[in-house]
Amino acid sequence: MAFGRFSRRSAAAAEPVTLKVLVAGGFGVGKTTLVGAVSEIRPLRTEESLSEVGRPVDDVSGVEGKTTTTVAMDFGRITLREDLILYLFGTPGQDRFWFLWDELAQGALGAVVLADTRRLEDCFAAVDYFERRGIPFAVAVNCFEGTDRFPPETVRAALDLDEAVPLLVGDARDRESVKQILVAVVEHALARVDQAREPVAT
């Protein structure tokens, strides 16, 4: 891991740097799973069972086995280094809960947008949200069993992603895979911060 701007500290040094990262994406893409796979504390989850009342608005095509949904947020924590801790906030996926996103996004260093190639259009709204607000983000294609695999450049073109946006392929169930995704987000976000601080040549 790079994180060159954070120097190694002694045991008597100041408190670790804490950073906030959002985990976003469409309904059923694996946000709760990702947070749970990597969190070193018992993750906070706000899941409710899917009901017949919500069936007309909760499209479960492609994720027919899904029985619960996040209605507020998921929360977890991971120590990437002894001096660097990430707090993870998973956003709800359905349109009717998007009013919570502005609250969750406050103070965030960056975000992971999870994508499912079976329902790629479901992550368009998250990509647009972070682009419009200037929040650095990376897109992570969650590899579900039995799904077709596409070259990263094909997914990038389908999402119309800027070349500077990291695009990764991973497994939301696998801790090491998720850690690499989070490292990519942090490095990308910090590079954006450094770039913004560079003096403009005259």
Per DSSP, 65 falls in state T
Q: How far is CA 127 from CA 42, 69, 89, in A?
A: 28, 21, 16
In the structure encoding, which two tokens stand for residue 127, read together? Answer: 């990509």
pLDDT at 104 over 50: yes
Decide: residue 17, CB within 10 A, 0-12 exposed, 13-18 middle, 19+ buried: middle
Is the pLDDT at 199 greater than 80? The verdict is: no
Q: Which domains does the chain have, with CATH numbers?
A: 17-197 (3.40.50.300)
Residue with tokens 């909760």: 58
Over residues 14-41, the pLDDT tens digits come to 789 999 999 999 888 999 999 999 999 9
In 108-186, the DSSP E strands lie at 110-115, 137-142, 167-170
Residue 184 pLDDT grade (very low, low, confident, very high; cuts 50, 70, 90): very high
- Write the pLDDT tens digit of every residue in 74-85: 999 999 999 999
Give the residue among 114, 143, 116 at the shortest CA–CA distance from 126.
114
* pLDDT band of 46, cuts 50, 70, 90: low
CA–CA distance from 139 to each of 1, 65, 78, 111, 150 (Å)?
Answer: 19, 24, 19, 9, 14
Give me the percent of the chain exceeding a pLDDT of 70. Answer: 75
Residues 6 or more apart whose Cβ sits within 8 Å of residue 174: 37
What percentage of the chain exceeds 90 in pLDDT?
A: 56
pLDDT (mean) for 74-103: 86
Q: State how far the Cα of 70 lies from the Cα of 24, in Å rounded to an integer.
A: 11
- Kindly tell me if the per-residue pLDDT of 126 is higher than 60: yes
Asked if pLDDT for residue 96 goes beyond 70, the answer is: no
